Chain A
Amino acid sequence: MVDRQPVVARPWWLKLWSMQKSTTPINGHIEAEGLVKRYGDVTALDGLDLTVPEGTVLGLLGPNGSGKTTAVSILTTLIQSDGGHAVVAGADVAANPSEVRRRIGLSGQAAAVDENLTGFENLEMIGRLYHLGRKPAVERARELLERFSLTDAADRLAKGYSGGMRRRLDLAGALVAEPPVLFLDEPTTGLDPRSRNELWAVVDELVERGRTVLLTTQYMEEADTLADDIVVMDKGRRIAQGTADELKDLVGGERIEISVAFENEIPEARRILAGLAEDAPRVSNRTLTASVVGGAAKLPAALRAMDDARLTVTDVGLRRPTLDDVFLSLTGRTAEAAAVHLEVAAPGEAPVLEEVA
């Protein structure tokens, strides 16, 4: 059940001066229960539960404003929640934020590198602020620059770096202290495909070393490639959870898209497509879309049938579900979906995919 007990906030001056020593052992676990965050009338997080077992990657998937960054900000102690509680790497984020900071690395959406410092200076500064000591901080900076293929650019100001280089430098910054838990907030948003692939390869390597990663993304493909488990968020709540395949199955797997030239061809096209598809074809602007199983065989079959019926096909395609599709199916079919949710989900608890499906 969701714990909605508000965390008693201690006065800021007490937090400022009180010395906190953690006795909890370091582990790679993230556990959040009933996180709530409000900004005035806007509820950014509405009772979010998350569990990330040690050594796994959880993808938080959702559109802008769904609460992903707010969740990361609470878990990384940047902001305080208005309710619920969370333990990261063995330390409580509200009671012992300084201990949490020692055990995590954060690579943010804004790519927080200092433009007026060189790549080396950026990493060395972070190492010294983790209190590694001057010499180890220098060595660690060199090592990370090497590992992220930035050695050649090490002594250039970061303002001259490309988008991909900045992200790599930012990610390297999150790894300076070898933290067991890593938060990546939209690591590839705005990157070109090549830089994105490079960054994915780096994250893959980190995961192979047994690091726990919480990743936020707007891209289904990214969650698919990197995450073991995906949580879909909407309006500050978890609306589904499962592996990438489970989520795609929920949406209906692959879909065929066929466009015809004339309005009066739509009924016949719809009839043909309905015979091959798993669900009723949807029509928008002379384009018909329907979910199929085994699309590679169904697509030519559909084309042949349309050709036989003398339909003018202007465009055709087979595509995997996108975040939009997952979203449409989770939130778009509000009437029936909501009814199902009400039946299976306990009050105050986000419905989980297994229960919906």
Chain B
Amino acid sequence: MGRLTLALGDGVIVAQRNMRKITRQPELLVAVLIMPLVFVFLFSYVFGSAIEIEGGSYREFLIGGAFVMMLTFGSTFTGIGLADDIQKGIIDRFRSLPMSRGAVVFGRTASDVIYNVLSTIVMAGAGYLVGWRINNGFGSALLGFGLVLLFAYAFSWIMAYLGLKVRSVEAINNAGSLVIFPLTFVANTFVPTDGFPSALRTFAEWNPVSTVAHAARVQFGNIPETTPDPTAWPLENAALYSLGWVAAILAVFVPLSIRAFQQTATSN
């Protein structure tokens, strides 16, 4: 067997192991399936009652942002999962086996994609109930989902790196919130950025969370015709700019994470 085949095979074994857990850890089930549900309903009715989108509906606007926010938060699972495995000594066991070096982190990020797909399905269903629609054809919508999932996948490598470095479930939870809250809120996720103070607005326009959400909304056909086209360059080229971020994050954090994995031995 070739080296790549072995690496893939090992990654699949690790991913299978992670997937088995979802039915055995109720808290995981809640986070992956119930949180997105609560989130969509909460924002639709609480924010939706106060925010007007000219020529369209807030709930249509919201769902695209909700996908990006929920999945970006979901990436903390990657870091939490790895930190937990380090604390429990399972990473040491893996590292003493003749398995492919990258398999544990690749397997982890792969199973987290599956969690994300599940969350997305739940959110899309909940979105449909509150009035969100795909207006641009199914194929185009799939591209939109694909972009959000790809961005979440890249982001989970950042969290993988943090998890391997910080090695504490609590710390990764806090660090995750510290980064992800501002990133997902100073963006067009929940409200149009027109009313932001100028510095925040510039940040929001260049924030990949905004561009991913914008690109997804375009694919879903959730941008009302009366809304003027964005003038900021990243939003004008939202899909391209977002993919650039995905590529850059992966290029930096895949090697960093694998190296961090090599160095994780719990030693005293």
Q: Which residues of A contact B (CB under 8 A)?
A: 12-13, 15-16, 19, 39, 44, 64-65, 69-70, 73, 76-79, 98, 101-102, 104-106, 108-117, 121, 125-126, 128-131, 157, 173
Contact = CB atoms under 8 A, between A and B. Distances in A.
Contact of A12 (B3, B89, B259, B266): B259
Given A110-B89, A117-B17, A131-B6, A101 B267 contact: no
A114 B20 CA distance: 11
Task: Among A64, A131, A173, find the residue whose CB has the most chain B CB atoms closer than 10 A.
Answer: A131
Contacts of A19: 3
B105 to A, nearest CB: 12
Given A101-B96, A130-B99, 8 more contacts: A16-B102, A70-B268, A73-B265, A104-B96, A114-B88, A116-B21, A117-B17, A130-B97
Interface residues of B, number: 32
Contact of B96 (A69, A76, A113, A116): A76
A115 B24 CA distance: 10
Contacts of B13: 125, 128-129
A15 B258 CA distance: 12
B10 A129 contact: yes
Contacts of B6: 131
A94 to B, nearest CB: 13
A164 B5 CA distance: 37
B89 A101 contact: no
B25 interface: yes
Given A108-B89, A117-B20, A129 B97 contact: yes
A105 B20 CA distance: 25
A10 to B, nearest CB: 12
B94 interface: yes
Nearest to B17: A125
B98 A98 contact: yes
A98 B13 CA distance: 19
B98 A116 contact: no
A30 B163 CA distance: 34
B267 A111 contact: no
B174 interface: no
Interface string B1-44: 10100100110010001001100110000000000000000000
B255 interface: yes
A181 to B, nearest CB: 12
A116 B268 contact: no
Task: Among A39, A77, A78, A173, find the residue whose CB has the most chain B CB atoms closer than 10 A.
Answer: A78
Given A111-B89, A112-B88, A117-B20, A73 B267 contact: yes
Contacts of A116: 20-21, 24-25
A108 B93 contact: yes
